Amino acid sequence: MRYICLLYVSEADLPAPGTPEFGPLRDANSAASAEMAKAGVLVDGAPLQPSRAATTIRIRGGETLLTDGPYAELKEQLNGYYLLECADLDEAVRWAQTIPAAKTGSVEVRPVVRVEGRP
């Protein structure tokens, strides 16, 4: 079964790329990814651009409305994801606990619905 791990961390708490503080965070995420890949559970994963780079789309009454920025103003923003192939939720949670975002923000683990005809 596939599980998506959504990483929520306050962007204000994230070090900027290129700063000395960024290196350990990058290395910790790389190590977690490498362990998941070695175990054969990592399907995909990536960081996201800051929430200010988002565009939110809503269609109301047949009219498309575009808004710059995230869907909602939150203390923590969606910063990345891991897509895992695990035997069950318990295994997915064990792997999610290795993701560094769990130490400073939160990791939401959610089963992915398999759509017939898609990989």
Exposure pattern of 72-97 as b/e (b: 16+ CB <10 Å)?
eeeebbbbbbbebbbeeeebbeebbe
pLDDT tens, N- to C-terminus, the chain (119 residues):
999 999 999 998 899 888 999 999 999 999 999 999 999 999 999 999 998 899 989 999 999 999 887 776 778 889 999 999 999 999 999 999 999 999 999 999 999 998 988 87
Lookup result for tokens 């920025």: 69
Q: Say what the pTM is.
A: 0.88
pLDDT in tens, 68-83: 877 767 788 899 999 9
Q: Cβ contacts of residue 49 below 8 Å, gap of 6+?
A: none
Residue 84 one-letter amino acid: L
What was the pLDDT predicted at 118? 81
Domain spans of the chain?
2-49+75-111
Which CATH code fits 2-49+75-111? 3.30.70.1060
